[in-house]
Amino acid sequence: MALALATPFFIVFGALSDRIGRKPVMMAGNLIAAVFTIPIFVLMYRFTPAGGSYNPVVLTFCVFLLVLFVTMVYGPIAAFLVESFPARVRYTSVSLPYHVGNGYFGGFLPFIATAVAAGAALAVQNDPDSFWAGRAQYAGVN
């Protein structure tokens, strides 16, 4: 649901990047995501059954915001990458590193985040006063 609601913003931020530039839109999306991702996950945890109360409307809104941050970067990125290389080497220069990077980092990310969160939970189990006490569930987020 949240993805369907945010999908038109790929076009909105792509068009905005045509007017004010690719870099400002993409950097704003990265900065906003860096500042608000952890607070959004804290809010999401609060409105899950594990956090005390279940509210699917708040959870959907939080996912909508996260997807909105993604649209700020991915709306302009195709044009940004195409404009970064001359036509003679564009296909190889854009496609190969982009897809290999997304494949490896995106493919291994769930495994790495799970390992980090499990390590934080183990650290709390071994030392209840550790840094991760009360926040181990967020270890894979940052």
Could you tell me the maximum CA-CA distance found in the chain, to the nearest angstrom? 58
Could you give the CA distance from residue 9 to residue 126 in angstroms, rounded to a whole number? 45
What are the Cα distances from residue 76, in Å, to 21, 37, 82, 140? Answer: 9, 21, 10, 27
Q: Which residue range forms the structural domain that includes residue 122?
A: 87-142
Q: pLDDT at position 17, please?
A: 95
Q: pLDDT at position 142, please?
A: 58
DSSP letters spanning 90-136: HHHHHHHHHHHHHHHHHHHHHHHHHHHHHHHHHHHHH-TTSTTTTTG
The string of pLDDT tens digits covering residues 120-138 is: 888 888 888 888 887 777 7
Does 94 lie in the same domain as 80? no
Does 80 lie in the same domain as 142? no
Q: Give the 3-state secondary structure of residue 54.
A: coil
Q: What average pLDDT does the segment 81-93 reach?
A: 85
Does 100 lie in the same domain as 74? no
Nearest to 3 by CA among 54, 74, 52: 74
% of the chain beyond a pLDDT of 70: 98
Does 75 lie in the same domain as 98? no
Does 94 lie in the same domain as 74? no
Does 122 lie in the same domain as 94? yes
The total number of structural domains that make up the chain: 2
